[in-house]
Structure 1
């Protein structure tokens, strides 16, 4: 799809790690924007993502006419920040984009800090937090520091693009007001092929955890719930754990100490639909989320789900299903929910999952996300052009 009625845009996406839902979001946007005739580039970290990120970028090479630039970046404040910041400035200057779209707290810093000192710039900045610094526990030193940075960079942001109502609410609660510059909510979207129901005829596991292996994801609560099912109810559901992260060794040890190691199989990240097909029910025990793609993808594929009620997950579930969500950090409630779901006849589970898939199809479409973001870009550029009519948006 090419938008021929308006000038094509030069778009640079800036973020840190080519991992997880944020990476998926950027890839979907970049691909959709390129297919609509815009010129797109990426600036991100070179030390994360591994072979999978290398393969993805190689596949996208022909679409990304502004290329992929990767430099070392640190997750936390570090001396490498200064070098990465200078590289970001250099790349932006060389590519001369119309839009610098920043993703996550680190991308927001690299893309918006130079803009703070350039109020007369031609290009417009867009910022999608993806949770990022807004998922830190309020009141702590880190949270206060990151919120101070967010307040500092707000005037350098032409367009805030919140991917969920939840994160927009977090911004208002932690910053003290909704953005004073332009802002809107553009929900994450799923492509049509992802709405094909997954086939469970070869499933050999009862449960699936899919995601990062770190504390915020609540996998320890899930392990405790399985231990409780075994000791209290005499149940031993088999669980496939697909993912990687800093807590992998500790979680493996926890399955041993809780006496359920023989029920659990750990595997590295892989294609999501293959993982979904191998288990009857996916469990999301998270303590914190924004609007997680893993649930969007699983729900679209009509995968039966047990999930905690955190972040924007209730937006995905919608009014018909959000009462099925459970509180985080409670292994007893989680164990009961897993037991109930596994005891539900397969036909009833599938009907429930199909109804949730219909809700996702109605509200979380990839084309709507891509077009909504591009429309926001154009509005931001129009406001900037009004202030500088002598410098129109460049055509490709």
Structure 2
């Protein structure tokens, strides 16, 4: 447990996190993990969002959720949200406001300037800059009293594209819950149940690509790579929902049909037991054609001892150790991906076990949830101490 001087005096600091919603995703997972860590540390955790399925998990952790339409990008609604957040800051005696997405960040920024409350932002993605207006809109994520970049890649993106005092920026990678992504805790029953649902055949290696079905996640690249591996017995499993992108899913299915890969590619849909899914895999692929801010898939897979083949850009290029825990290949290059998969699928016995051990240790040392939360709470404490020194 991380304890602070304030919590020991019985006067717990209060942190308000703001984000669009709590449906699913890395930003949402980080918010819930952070709220849980704050409660465990003796702080008070508030989260404001438009709501979603993860609210229940948040409240089980002991945090308080306040429903506001923070998913709206309507300028008038954003101003109204700012007034509501200012009211909440005063009502709950909030000490720190932490914004994790642009539209709610603007509302939080205006509210904290009005109330004089320290403001933290987490910069999660290399937001596209299509002109001065978009640059200005994105810039709210650099207006925090502290700005958290979720990878060195994002840190460089911020420094190259926005005016920011480098002393205010901190790089804190996302963290994986090692109590959940632990191979010792994934039961055989869970793996059997999922294997049956996916209709997996015994003895056929599984190449898994987790991620919602959207073009930049690279499902088409993996399908094309499988066409280069017809001599290798393997099944590519695409794990993730199309989230309404029916046309893209149909395009992928048509590609599978055209390349005569129906026996080598399977669409598994959404999966609610990702630790078991990783454990069923022989190799995990992160084939994003655009750079990701962090790349949670590669870290989760390594936490469970699975070799990873990832695109050599963005945050993924930082989390995979080439030749030790996985392979990095040029983005959108099916032949290069196929060559790396061929090597990964050839790992066996003691060599595979050595790769697994290195991958798990790599994640434990650098990408645990506990480390992420401790580093973030240290930033909160730093701001509280600065504020105390000003009074």
Sort the TM-score into its range (normalised by shorter chain).
Answer: 0.7 to 0.9
- The separation in 1 between residues aligned to 2:81 and 2:388, in whole angstroms, is 29
- The alpha-carbon distance between structure 1 residues 257 and 196, as it changes in their structure 2 partners (threshold 3 A), is closer
Does the 8 Å CA contact 1:74/1:81 hold for their aligned counterparts? no
Single out whichever of 263-272 and 338-347 deviates more from structure 2: 338-347
Q: Secondary structure at the match of 1:325?
A: strand
Q: 1:179 is matched with which residue? A: 165
| Whole-angstrom distance in 2 between the partners of 1:20 and 1:206 | 24
Distance (whole Å) between structure 1 residues aligned to residue 262 and residue 56 of structure 2: 33
Q: Are residue 257 (structure 1) and residue 252 (structure 2) matched?
A: no
Match of 2:136 among 144, 148, 168: 148
For structure 1, the residue ranges without an aligned partner over 5 or more in a row are: 390-396
Name the structure 2 match of 1:107: 104
* Matched residue, 2:124: 130
Q: CA deviation at 1:43?
A: 0.8
Aligned partner of 2:66 in structure 1 is 69
Q: CA RMSD in A?
A: 2.9
Q: Which residue in the other structure is 1:196 paired with?
A: 182
Is the CA contact 2:149–2:173 (under 8 Å) kept in the aligned structure 1?
yes
Alignment-derived partner of residue 369 in structure 1? 372
Does the C-alpha gap of structure 1 residues 353 and 323 become closer, same or farther in structure 2, counting only changes over 3 Å? closer
Distance in 1 of aligned mates of 2:217 and 2:308? 15
Does the 8 Å CA contact 2:59/2:65 hold for their aligned counterparts?
A: no
Contact 2:148/2:169, CA 8 A, preserved across alignment: yes
Deviations 1:300-343 (A, max 9, x none): 11112211122122322247648821111111211222222223
Whether the aligned pair in 1 keeps the contact of 2:70 and 2:104 (CA below 8 Å) is: no
Secondary structure at the residue paired with 2:174? coil
Cα shift at 1:351: 2.1
**Number of positions where the alignment pairs a residue of Structure 1 with one of Structure 2:** 366
Residues 134-164 of structure 1: per-residue CA shift (max 9 Å, x gap): 242x5x34xx43322344664x521112221
Query: What's the offset of the Cα at 1:346?
Result: 4.9
Displacement of 1:279 in angstroms is: 2.2
> Corresponding residue for 1:353?
356
Summarize the Cα distance change of 1:2–1:280 in structure 2 as closer, same or farther, 3 Å threshold: closer
Give distance in 1, aligned partners of 2:341 and 2:140: 45
Report the alpha carbon displacement of residue 266 of structure 1 after superposing the two structures with TM.
2.4
Q: Which residue of 2 aligns with 1:215?
A: 215
CA distance in 2, matches of 1:309, 1:333: 11
For 1:95-131, what per-residue CA distance to the aligned partner results, in whole angstroms no more than 9, with x for missing partners? 2310101113233223213334x3xx44211111111
Partner SS state of residue 193, structure 1 = coil
Q: Residues 106 and 315 of structure 1: is their aligned pair in 2 closer, same or farther, counting only changes over 3 Å?
A: same
Question: In the TM superposition, what is the alpha-carbon distance from 1:375 to its structure 2 partner?
Answer: 1.5
Stretches of structure 2 that go unaligned for 5 or more consecutive residues are none
Contact 1:162 1:186 in 2 (8 A): yes
Find the counterpart in structure 2 of residue 278 from structure 1.
Answer: 280
Partner of 1:332: 335
Q: What is residue 150 of structure 2 aligned with on the other side?
A: 163
Cα contact 2:124–2:149 (8 A) shared by 1: yes
| Correspondent of 2:31 among 26, 41, 48 | 26
CA distance in 2, matches of 1:75, 1:343: 49
User: SS at 1:25's partner residue?
Assistant: helix
Asked if 2 retains the 8 angstrom alpha-carbon contact of 1:135 and 1:288, the reply is: no
- Please, what TM-score do these two structures have when normalized by structure 2? 0.83
Could you say what secondary structure the match of 2:57 adopts? helix
Match of 1:392 in 2: none
CA distance, structure 1, for counterparts of residue 90 and residue 250 of structure 2: 47
Contact 1:160 1:179 in 2 (8 A): no
CA distance in 1, matches of 2:181, 2:277: 16
Provide the C-alpha distance between the structure 1 equivalents of 2:74 and 2:223, rounded to a whole number of angstroms: 32
Larger RCO (CA under 8 A, 6+ residues apart): 1
For residues 251 and 3 of structure 1, the distance between their equivalents in structure 2, rounded to whole angstroms, comes to 48
- SS of 1:279 mapped into structure 2: coil
Task: Give the C-alpha shift of residue 192 in structure 1.
Answer: 3.9
Could you tell me how far apart the structure 1 residues matched to 2:267 and 2:108 are?
A: 41
